[in-house]
Chain A
Amino acid sequence: MGLVKLTYREAMRAAIRDALRRDDRVFLMGEDVGRYGGCFAVSLGLLEEFGPERIRDAPLSEGAFVGAGIGAAMNGMRPIVEIMTVNFSLLALDQIVNNAATLLHMSGGQFNVPVVIRMTTGAGRQLAAQHSHSLEGWYAHIPGLRILTPATVEDARGMLWTALCDPDPVLVFEHGSLYNAAAQIDENAGPVDIDRALVRRPGRDVTVATYGGMLPRCLEAAEDLARDGVDAEVIDLRTLRPLDDAMILDSVRHTHRLVVVDEGWRSGSVSAEISTRVVEQAFYDLDAPIERVCTAEVPLPYARHLEEAALPGPVAIAAAARRTVGDGR
């Protein structure tokens, strides 16, 4: 058993291939997943290996093919549906919110919907407002869905496996800027827990809670803070619904300070939810007001400098953490 170096993209592909080999009920369906190789090249080569029945190119009809994934899941299959970006998922919102999330409940527990829906999310690639948004927080509002946001190569490798074992619909948000991120992982890397948040960097002075594409930026900010003697604990939420509040609260009770870093807009965001839960449950453990670093409340602009200015960056994250520990640190 050795280590292999994989990119996030390769890890995701390995996870899909593995699922296709392990379970003949699994198939991949979406726009350009086959002949084109996936618009982010995640599924490159899978068509040749598994054929067009299982690597199924769909027309640009999100409502139809996402709904078809739901129906196929209800009828014994384990579909992995790929939507190019979270922006396009809005064309399938009816199927995801009105069907996938509700059918188990509305049917009094008779019909499970074991579908996995993958999509890219996030900004940072100058794709402007209709290809750059972070709407996973919206989906996290919906009971009946499970929302995964793999931020590491290991999670990219392991979350899909666990998601496919879930009898309920799981949405996986892959951050577009992570696809080229590489890491050494165990070549036998297997499924990972999708119920728990994880401490990615332990620390004493302030908790920085984040997920997905913001994790590398938070870790970078933590290194910067460390040079100033501020020891930040970075938490990767990993699952936005259900939120692992217990883990966040544990960390806050330990550091007494909290910065939430969320690529969604501040208003009505995951950061708002986390802040409220901490205030509700650990108010007296806080030594400083909670800080939030979110995307500026604008549609994401194209120009590089404007886009970067809109996004939470390491400098802003570190500054927020410094505010929580006071100027004296």
Chain B
Amino acid sequence: MIEAKSGLNSEERRVLLRDMVRVRRFEDRCFELYTTGDIRGFLHLYVGEEAVAAGVIPMLRPEDAVVSTYREHGHALVRGVPMDAVMAEMFGRRTGCSGGRGGSMHLFDGERRFYGGNAIVGGGLPVAVGLALADAMRGRRQVTACFFGDGAFAEGVFHECANLATLWRLPVLFACENNLYAMGTALARSHSNTDLALRASSYGMPAWPVDGMDVFAVRDAAARAVEVVRAGGGPCFLELRTYRYRAHSMYDPDLYRDKGEIKRWKERDPIEALADRMRATGDLAAGDLEALEREVDQEVDRAVAVAGSAPLEPVENLTRFVHSERRSTPDPEQRPVPESVRPSESGQPSESGQRRAPESEPAQS
């Protein structure tokens, strides 16, 4: 585990606290709004995991990219997607960050290079590899941070992507949020070896386990990992050991774990832990946390009010964005180079038959 350093000034600590409080209060309100029916669909809450988003994402630059999962409200908010736009998306409104077409699981923001919002476990991993590939091919010193869970680690596509990103030394930060459960299946019941950082390191990339409940530890680890990735050293892997307090989704009766376990994790609550440290160093006076929460609640109230009165996307626009409205046509002035059509290369396959017999095609299981 990376030891937490505390080289932050009081203002930086306050930003971390604020980021986490914003995520938590936003999500608590989403829970309520789900029970009143204002938010529908699947809703996956991040409560308990806030230190991960708050610790990792601010270590990125605006030109870096973030790829997220279906549990991404926290990532979006910390990345700077306006709360109004996120809440409006939860309400399915036109002003939502995905125009009401994505909902809770598919938040997108092109301006902030926030690439979703992928609801297929592990589905965002190859996209992250591709974003990083484009940056590498263009010589841009940009990092793509890809969030995914311990469940995705079990998918073949994670291993394909870990291999590919390491093989091609691509600038990807694999941020694995190990919250111990893939939906309702405990890590130990689905992984032959539960040390995910160790397994990731077998691909030849630096990989560290991090205490995901300690925002300082997450921040330090992320800073180090981003530095390695940005320097062109290829991908890094962080196993962020965290815990979600709430069920997998609003439909989950949470029968697979005992309440004592949740209680034990809550004793290490990332927001409380940071607040305690700030109190100890005099960065947080009595009543400061409550004042911050009130301030954030007002922001959430506003977002809910704005979302609730936001317009709906007109039904006439239902089929927009299936295909692009405008396509460019090939430039007729750009004629092909004539020799490019001439079969002039040496080693040309004979015309009488395929040069490579079908039997010689590489077999694939």
Binding site for B on A (CB under 8 A): 4-7, 9-11, 14, 17-18, 21-22, 27, 31-32, 36-37, 39-41, 44-45, 53, 58-61, 63-77, 79, 84, 88, 94-95, 98-99, 103-112, 125-127, 131, 143-144, 146, 157, 161-162, 165-168, 176, 179-180, 182, 185, 187-191
Contact = CB atoms under 8 A, between A and B. Distances in A.
Nearest to A125: B358
B255 interface: no
Contact of A39 (B99, B101, B110, B356): B356
B101 A94 contact: no
Given A10-B343, A44-B345, A180-B353, A74 B127 contact: yes
Interface string B86-122: 0000000000111111100010111000011110100
B157 A188 contact: no
B164 A68 contact: yes
Contacts of B108: 106-108, 110-111
A179 B355 CA distance: 11
Contact of A188 (B96, B118, B338): B338
A190 B333 CA distance: 10
A284 to B, nearest CB: 29
A168 B321 CA distance: 10
Contacts of A66: 126
A67 B130 contact: yes
Interface of B: 65, 96-102, 106, 108-110, 115-118, 120, 123, 125-135, 137-138, 144, 156-157, 160-161, 163-164, 167, 320-324, 326-330, 332, 334-338, 340-343, 345-349, 351-356, 358, 361-362, 364
Contact of B131 (A74, A157, A176, A188): A74
Contact of B102 (A7, A107, A167, A168): A107
Contacts of A107: 98, 101-102, 106, 108, 110, 116-117, 321
24 contacts: A6-B343, A10-B348, A44-B355, A59-B167, A63-B157, A63-B160, A64-B129, A64-B161, A64-B164, A65-B126, A70-B126, A71-B128, A72-B131, A106-B116, A107-B98, A107-B106, A108-B96, A126-B358, A144-B322, A176-B358, A182-B351, A185-B341, A190-B330, A191-B329
A245 to B, nearest CB: 17
Contacts of A95: 123, 126-127
Contacts of A6: 341, 343
Nearest to A1: B338
Nearest to A182: B351
Contacts of A75: 65, 130-131, 133-135
A32 to B, nearest CB: 6
B155 to A, nearest CB: 9
Contact of A99 (B118, B133, B346): B118
Q: Which of A98, A107, A126 has the most CB of B within 10 A?
A: A107
Contacts of A69: 130
B89 to A, nearest CB: 9
Given A68-B129, A95-B123, A99-B127, A180 B351 contact: yes
